[in-house]
């Protein structure tokens, strides 16, 4: 079973937009891996009150458990996603973009 971390842009998005994009990605991921996945909870609404760098730190802790890091949406325009991508690459995580 693969553990999946989803990286997605969140700035200026509502919780509903974030969750909808995430749910769409989960459907694609489950199809790609024949449901043989565990989706790590990388979106935690309680993080919204933290400073951005603290949110990134919490995300990296979660990403450390992942086998695959999936980037969705316009992730290249989000500095946190760009940093997560660089970390995933440097630490040998499998990277998938959808």
Q: How confident is the model over 1-29, as pLDDT tens digits?
A: 999 999 999 989 998 999 999 999 999 99
Predicted TM-score (pTM) of the model is 0.92
Quick one: tokens of 4? 């999946």
pLDDT tops 80 at residue 48? no
pLDDT bucket at 85, cuts 50 / 70 / 90 = very high
Lowest average pLDDT, out of 4-13, 38-47, 55-64, 71-80, goes to 38-47
Q: Contact at 8 Å (CB) between 45 and 16?
A: no
CA 41 from chain center: how many Å?
9
């Amino acid at each position: 079973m693969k553990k999946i971390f989803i990286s997605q842009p969140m700035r200026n998005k509502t919780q509903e937009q974030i969750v909808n994009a995430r749910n769409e990605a989960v459907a694609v991921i489950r199809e790609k891996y024949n449901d043989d996945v565990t989706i790590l909870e990388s979106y935690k609404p309680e993080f919204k009150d933290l400073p951005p760098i603290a949110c990134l730190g919490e995300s990296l802790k979660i990403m450390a458990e992942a086998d695959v890091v999936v980037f969705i949406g316009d992730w290249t325009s989000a500095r946190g996603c760009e940093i997560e991508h660089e970390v995933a690459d440097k630490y040998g995580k499998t990277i998938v973009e959808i």
